A and B are shown apart, each in its own frame.
Chain A
Amino acid sequence: DAKTTQPTSMDCAEGRAANLPCNHSTISGNEYVYWYRQIHSQGPQYIIHGLKNNETNEMASLIITEDRKSSTLILPHATLRDTAVYYCIVRDLTLRANTGNQFYFGTGTSLTVIP
């Protein structure tokens, strides 16, 4: 699996956009980019995923560069409840028979939203 690189920590002012970068320079053509977050003492929460095109949902936007070697997760108006560790994961969805889907987490970015 391709590995990802994320900054260890970031701060963001409440109400401002939080832009979380992720490098995945060895990503292959079949690999999707996934973002999860984990609020302290809770299970990881799915945020968004994409392959090539930019994606947006009610939680966030995902911007993937044209060469797909990096992406940015955007939380448009960060709130205190967005303080969490954010994980960027790449995963090939071409499933091999009966192997399930291995998701390996990197170290993530600890985002702190400041009042």
Chain B
Amino acid sequence: DTEVTQTPKHLVMGMTNKKSLKCEQHMGHRAMYWYKQKAKKPPELMFVYSYEKLSINESVPSRFSPECPNSSLLNLHLHALQPEDSALYLCASSPGAASRRWGNTIYFGEGSWLTVV
């Protein structure tokens, strides 16, 4: 089972709203990721959590706030977003340690479509 579950699938929010995107995996993976993808562009890495600690922040604006409550869950808190933040937000996970078999492959969820109005 290589499933990463993201909720909600679609979210529309105003620029003054506070909302959250949620991600869950039950594969025992210890690394989790947030990516942002605009239309017709490749996914762009935002954050990496490794063993529940934030290890990489790709200079993401503070209106995006990640949280990793435990090894299975990853949240992305959204506040005061702009219309240009409208995009597909992808969560992913990987074992967190390289192995000869799986090579630390990353598995993606189906994404949350965010529209900021």
Contact = CB atoms under 8 A, between A and B. Distances in A.
B104 interface: yes
A68 interface: no
Contact of B104 (A87, A95, A105, A107): A95
Contact of A100 (B4, B49, B90, B109): B49
A100 B94 contact: yes
Contacts of B106: 46, 101, 103
Given A44-B43, A99-B56, A49 B105 contact: yes
Interface of B: 2, 4, 31, 33, 42-45, 48-51, 53, 55-56, 88, 90, 92, 94, 96-98, 103-111
Contact of B108 (A32, A34, A44, A93): A44
A45 interface: yes
Interface of A: 32, 34, 36, 41-46, 49, 85, 87, 93-95, 98-108
Contacts of A102: 45, 48, 56
B109 A107 contact: no
Contacts of A36: 108
A102 B4 CA distance: 18
Contacts of B55: 98-100
B14 to A, nearest CB: 24
A100 B56 contact: yes
Given A102-B48, A106-B42, A43 B111 contact: yes
A43 B2 CA distance: 13
Given A43-B109, A43-B110, A100 B31 contact: yes
Nearest to B109: A43
A44 B111 CA distance: 9
Nearest to B48: A100
Contact of B42 (A34, A42, A107): A107
A49 B109 CA distance: 19
21 contacts: A32-B103, A41-B88, A42-B110, A42-B111, A43-B4, A43-B92, A43-B111, A45-B108, A46-B108, A93-B98, A94-B98, A95-B96, A99-B55, A100-B33, A100-B48, A101-B94, A101-B106, A102-B45, A104-B45, A105-B43, A108-B42
